[in-house]
Structure 1
Amino acid sequence: MGHSDATDVLYHYKSALKVGEVERYVITYDLYDGDEIPTDISLDSLWLKVKNLENLTHRAAYLMGPFILYCDVRTEDYHHSNKIYASVDRPKYEPNLQAQQRCIAELSLHQIKKRYVWIVDVVSQILFSTVSQIAFEITIGKTKQALDEKVDGLIENGSLSNQLTVSRLTTLDLWNLPHQLQMKKKVKHLVILTHGLHSNVSTDMVYLMEEIYKAQANYPDEQIVVKGYTGNVCQTEKGVKYMGTRLAKYIAEELYEESVGKISFIAHSLGGLVQTFAISYIAVKYPWFFQRVRPINFICIASPFLGVVTDNPAYVNLLLSFGVIGKSGQDLSLEKEPHSGAPLLYLLSGDPFKSILVKFKRRTLYMNAVNDGIVPLYTASMLFLDYEEVLRKLKELENNQTTLQADNAGVIHQEDFVGKHLISPFNKFVSMLAPQKFPGDISKIPKQSFLESAMSTIIPPLPDQSFILDPGSRKPVIVHDKIYTEKDIPPMLSEAEDTYKHSKNILLEPFTIRRKDKGKSLEETIARRWHEGVSWRKVVVSLKPDAHNNIIVRRRFSNAYGWPVMDHLIEAHFNGDDNNDYTHCNYLENSEELIPQDQSGHMLEPNKDYAWITRVENARLFDEGPTGMISTVGEILDTFSRKTFYEHAQNDDSNGGNIEHNGFNTFELENGSI
């Protein structure tokens, strides 16, 4: 190892991230000043280190964290649509930076140009706690050896070189600066992003947010403003109604202003149901909203509109109904609401939501055909789909050696297909608890504890280098894209029999395998309600694992297989064809009549026909699942410890004493705050 000292360290910074937080470091290095290239110019690379500073024991503290970071490093001009030729320009990423691990990247200066710019993202992977945080440090040095030097006490946080400038952007900066820096337009197009179970919008949908903002160039007459509600983080087990109500109030009471003329909704997974309830709540409690704001896009990505009951064995359904993932699990298991006597998902498929739904210019569903361990195809597609066409397309991909393995006759063996692509109910259940992971060997029964096994055996497979570096190497992922109207829905065979009861299509197996002779399913009843008088664009994709999180590119590089899906979403929904267009596009005649009115034509008061929306429910024991309770208990303990600390401080201060910090875990930030 060559000689190095602290003077070779150009930048050092310590920070910490909580759940739903990301920090971006924009590194600018000026190779030389002036117009002339110096004769003694150095093209030696710089080196970057990101280190997780948490104690090694935190690797086992999964439920209080997990204390894991994601980080990536890329050049300023990197975009996944451009081929990368130079190996030194390849992006580097670490999907699971655990406690005391570090990620080291070379910042190459292989060309003589005046300025180099790199972008570093550091993302919290915490799932279950709003109190826990992950401390980390980022260091830039002239040599790789300099990264190992002890810099604490030798240098302050920040840059030590006139050639190097590092701009630090927080989560709030990333979400607020784009629309604040834009030229103010007369009309705003509000785009609402909503996350799913055990997820958060601020980190898990930040990629989609930034891609939407890139489409601003298509809208010279309006300003795109992308927002997401962060108040439901670590609250996702409390139920669709709980989250949807909070989202609705956020939209109508905090985001709405007179300049908002359009609105779009985009949601992932359980978020599709949450945004559906939110729209229903707005329609009832704020009936003026959709009279003033034109609905444009209603988009759901891998959302379980029919629940996740059919392909679960009895013990999983029993656990869901008992609240093992809280009220949300009961909603997904189609438990009947105590007052209405009907499942919430059944109620959502009717009015008042349908009266607003028909006003959207576009209604689109994205769904995974395979490799989705959480939301099966039948529920994400609202059941009715050309399954034979989808299977034919999958076989074409199989023949091109992309997704499926065929036998010599080119026929898919059902055993192989199920084993590889239709995730077992047990592992799907594990995925609900750790949705950022994916089952590796689905035939392996965990021998350790439930969540320890989930942590150790379900690491998601990462994209290969050719996929990331060469757009030409990427195979098509859209296997089906069609607008379905009510006329495309097959007629009901009988009141006592499922439409797909006798189907042999393997894609329907999660729906048919456990139904046997149970008669017409509640899922089909709900599905038919969803298609009454409404057209849906259904886009089926074939992604490699972990498809459920790849489909929204939860992390820029580790979920890169979803890039083509997000490209399709942007091109189809934010291409500028509705710029400066404010005429309502109703798909049903007299759609306003769907909203119940009295004899004078006024909308009925809330809490009459729509009491299931507005009624304040009493909290029940199982409304918050075990992992949800972790956050609640953590917040209580944190509040108690803070209160005790401040009371102790006030007492000491009143007695002229000093505050003792012994016994407190403190982390000193750049500004000296604790």
Structure 2
Amino acid sequence: MSTDPFLWYRERDSLSIGDVNRYTIKYTRLDPNKREIFLRLKNKEKAPIRAIHLLNGPFSLYCHVVPFNYDPDNIFIPEDIDSNKEVVFKNEVKPSQAFNVKLNLNSNSLVRSGEEGDLFQWEVDIVSQIITTRKTNILFELMIGDDLSRMKKLNSGTFHTITSMGSKSFITFNPRENVVVDNEQIGQSSNPQLSVVKKSTCDLWSNEPKYPEQPVHLIWLTHGVLSNLTADMLYMKDTLERKCGSENLLVRGYSGNAGRTEKGVKKLGISSAESLVELIQRKKHKIKKISFIAHSLGGLVQLYAIKHILTTRGTTFFEDHDIEPDNLFCVASPLLGILSEMSFLISWFLDLGTLGKTGRDLTLSKTIPSLSNLNVEEDKRSAFKPLLETLPDDPLQTFLGRFNHLTLYANAVNDGIVPLRTGALLYLDYEALGDVTQLQKNKTAKLEHQHDYDHHSLATNTTGDTVAEIPEEKELGAERTTLLERYKQLFSLNLNNEEKKSSLTRREKKFMRISAKGTDYYNLFDDDAEEADEVLSAENEVEASFVSSSSPLSKRSGERPTFYIPPKASAVESAINAILCPIPSREYIMNPESRDFVIFHDKYYQFKNLPKDDHSKRSKLKLLIFNYNNDWKLNKQVKIAKKYHTSDLNWRKILVNLPPDAHNNIIVRRRFPNGYGWGVVDHLCEVFMEGGNPSEETKQEKDQHRIGEGQKIGEGHRIADDSKGNEGELGTNKMKAKI
């Protein structure tokens, strides 16, 4: 390595798109007076390359260093937080930049003490941040030693590279470095007290299940647009394996779509499908169950992959291999496209092919069929339809009914890439959601209020029996009156005009078309199943009459429903947030009690009766001329959404409240910079392990959180206090049905 004793380990490597190197560092201390050693990571790319990083990069690295005893679920206390936080990370180590870390030898990194010395351990992840191309690499150097100042001088030179184009084999080093390097010792420790174990991307994603000889539960992960499997879904994989230890899991996915996400849903889905089929037919492991978890565009890709397998391999492919479909998770996935979610200008650019075929798929553009499709008689009619419109048709629709559990996660706010409606498959109880804009505008007050009692009280639809009602205006006081004033122009309402008060605006009618009642998740598993069925039936009848009445209002009561329509997020703002996103605070990372509960809405939607369409009388000429307006867009989304909502398909819809960048936070693209999404991934693991049924511990936890009359849930909501036989200020739908 070097004749100087201060440098113990030196690693030189390069990472391409999706690549991750994980180092486990172990150091045995023989001298009790030694208090620290040092780690230095340097991006060896030349600084001028930053100017072209948008075309082939970015040529930056992400790195975090975690001591052995750090547990995100427990309070972590650094020895001297002012001088060293001990849990450290850097989101962007840019070309020619370095990341220096002090590794403290203390109780936080201590594995064990013994006669042979004290053993300390850390875990280091180095991740490539390249997102756009598969043809470039990022060169870096990692050093470990006990003299940081001399280590800085040691790698002050640069690699002789040509913008890192090509393979890893061309790496040479600057001879001006005043150290004689033995190439055979690169990546090896020269200090017998230091041990460094390196795992490459392949090592991390080819690990064996806990019990290889026993049947396994295969989890197939799929990444989103401008993303990759091996780096961006790594936290999801690690958490599943860590928290779902009782399951014999085999977590896999297809990495070949990285850097190619503009190729279109069809091509991406076919590639993923062929990889999955190959894994199943290889029969290395006996696969008993299969679950799918996908983020963003991956939700559409995984659905197309399933459909491709059923179409080309037969609808009984999984049955023939004795594989049971278990869970299907779509996390912030644009299942209805983004036609009515983006501005006209952005949709126009996507339609022109800015994001390739994928952009046209998401804007529901008509497809250009191949000759093979036109030769098939049954495909002629649907050959020109948008791909997303035909995707949920059979055989996929029937197969979805075979899954034990269908679950959607969607961002309520702060996601301009996949906004709420398309991420939640359109149908939600918008009346009961309340004013979700307060999650953005009154964030500080929300967090202060949250610490007053347990976090579950904020999860409106997981605490009460059903979704809570919106109070009348007089119950909300002056504050809610001010909010109504704010929405005055949005709804085009004249609140002082009594004649207009009993009629709905065009925008409100549109949202009544997609408003549907859900069922509280926990109450699906009451001991009295017959009573639960009666309640569900009653709720469906109420909902059917609510939405299908010839008058949108209840003419008998003269009351109008209260809608607080979720705001449209900005795609431009989300893109900026992806670059300049707020990073979790030190307190958030080290103290789990300081973290906000992220689940905002958790309900089962059972659609025995969907809202009926309101076919307004409009001339065909008017429709032809103005077919680009929002009504046409909504009609297209409704048509697609209804294919996913049949009597056999019941979806659990979970809405989350995350700060920007919510779209990447929801799956924790990077462990610490996107740490606001930890609660979502933890919740997904709990849902996966529960198998759709809440554990006794979860039920007891839920009951404890409901104690205390009059606890507020957001703006104007209150929990029923069953312990006193009261309904609080407002009774819930299910409780009313029981009465």
Q: Quickly name the TM-score band, shorter chain normalised.
A: 0.7 to 0.9
CA contact (8 A) 1:252 1:289 kept: no
CA contact (8 A) 1:205 1:552 kept: yes
CA contact (8 A) 1:74 1:89 kept: no
Q: How do 1:117-132 residues align onto structure 2 when only pairs under 5 Å count?
A: 117-132=121-136
Q: How do 1:318-329 residues align onto structure 2 when only pairs under 5 Å count?
A: 318-329=348-359
Distance in 1, Cα, partners of 2:307 & 2:202? 29
Of residues 327, 332, 345 in structure 2, which corresponds to 1:297?
327
Shift of 1:89: 5.8
Q: Residue 597 of structure 2 aligns to which amino acid in structure 1?
A: P
3-state SS in 2 of match to 1:574: helix
Distance in 2, Cα, partners of 1:461 & 1:396? 16
Q: Residue 207 of structure 2 aligns to which amino acid in structure 1?
A: L
3-state SS in 2 of match to 1:264: strand
Which residue of structure 1 aligns with residue 274 of structure 2?
Answer: 249
Of residues 365, 368, 387 in structure 1, which corresponds to 2:430?
387
Which residue of structure 2 aligns with residue 268 of structure 1?
Answer: 295
Distance in 2, Cα, partners of 1:70 & 1:557? 10
Shift of 1:140: 1.2
Distance in 1, Cα, partners of 2:662 & 2:152? 38
Distance in 1, Cα, partners of 2:362 & 2:335? 9
Q: How do 1:554-573 residues align onto structure 2 when only pairs under 5 Å count?
A: 554-573=669-688
Which residue of structure 1 aligns with residue 101 of structure 2?
Answer: 105
Which residue of structure 1 aligns with residue 14 of structure 2?
Answer: 16
TM-score by length of 2: 0.66
Q: Which runs of 5+ in 2 are unaligned?
A: 156-176, 370-382, 450-475, 491-563, 619-627, 694-739
Distance in 2, Cα, partners of 1:149 & 1:184? 48
Q: 1:110 to 1:267 in 2, by over 3 A?
A: same
Shift of 1:110: 2.8
Which residue of structure 2 aligns with residue 423 of structure 1?
Answer: 569
Which residue of structure 2 aligns with residue 82 of structure 1?
Answer: 74
Of residues 280, 283, 286 in structure 1, which corresponds to 2:307?
280
Do structure 1's residue 531 and structure 2's residue 523 form an aligned pair? no
Structure 1 or 2, whichever has the larger Rg, is 2
Distance in 1, Cα, partners of 2:345 & 2:100? 46
Q: 1:280 to 1:31 in 2, by over 3 A?
A: same
Shift of 1:475: 1.3
User: After the TM superposition, which segments of 4 or more aligned residues of structure 1 sit over 6 Å from their partners?
Assistant: 403-408
Shift of 1:515: 4.4
Which residue of structure 2 aligns with residue 115 of structure 1?
Answer: 119
Do structure 1's residue 70 and structure 2's residue 62 form an aligned pair? yes
TM-score by length of 1: 0.72
Q: 1:517 to 1:242 in 2, by over 3 A?
A: closer
Q: How do 1:261-660 residues align onto structure 2 when only pairs under 5 Å count?
A: 261-287=288-314, 288-291=316-319, 292-339=322-369, 340-392=383-435, 395=438, 398=442, 401-402=445-446, 409=479, 413=486, 422-427=568-573, 431=575, 438=577, 458-487=579-608, 489-494=610-615, 515=629, 518=632, 521-533=635-647, 534-575=649-690
Q: Residue 530 of structure 1 aligns to which amino acid in structure 2?
A: Y
Q: 1:188 to 1:407 in 2, by over 3 A?
A: same
Q: 1:305 to 1:530 in 2, by over 3 A?
A: same
Do structure 1's residue 161 and structure 2's residue 307 form an aligned pair? no
Shift of 1:6: 3.7
Which residue of structure 2 aligns with residue 234 of structure 1?
Answer: 259
Of residues 135, 142, 148 in structure 2, which corresponds to 1:138?
142
CA contact (8 A) 1:70 1:122 kept: yes
Q: 1:407 to 1:559 in 2, by over 3 A?
A: farther
Q: Which runs of 5+ in 1 are unaligned?
A: 33-39, 432-436, 440-457, 498-513, 579-674
Which residue of structure 2 aligns with residue 451 of structure 1?
Answer: none
CA contact (8 A) 1:69 1:95 kept: yes
3-state SS in 2 of match to 1:149: helix
Shift of 1:250: 0.7
CA contact (8 A) 1:394 1:404 kept: no
CA RMSD between the two structures: 2.9
Distance in 2, Cα, partners of 1:89 & 1:576? 38
Distance in 2, Cα, partners of 1:538 & 1:362? 11
Percentage identity across paired residues of the two chains: 36
Which residue of structure 1 aligns with residue 48 of structure 2?
Answer: 57
Which residue of structure 1 aligns with residue 23 of structure 2?
Answer: 25
CA contact (8 A) 2:86 2:104 kept: no
Distance in 2, Cα, partners of 1:320 & 1:488? 35
- Listed one character per residue, the Cα deviations across residues 238-287 of structure 1 (whole Å, up to 9, x for unaligned) are 10000001111111123444511211100000000000000001111112
Distance in 2, Cα, partners of 1:370 & 1:471? 23
Q: 1:520 to 1:381 in 2, by over 3 A?
A: closer
Which residue of structure 1 aligns with residue 520 of structure 2?
Answer: none
Q: 1:74 to 1:315 in 2, by over 3 A?
A: same
CA contact (8 A) 1:481 1:538 kept: yes
Which structure has more relative contact order (CA 8 Å, sep 6+)? It is 1
Distance in 2, Cα, partners of 1:495 & 1:242? 39
Give aligned pairs, total.
521
Q: Residue 311 of structure 1 aligns to which amino acid in structure 2?
A: E
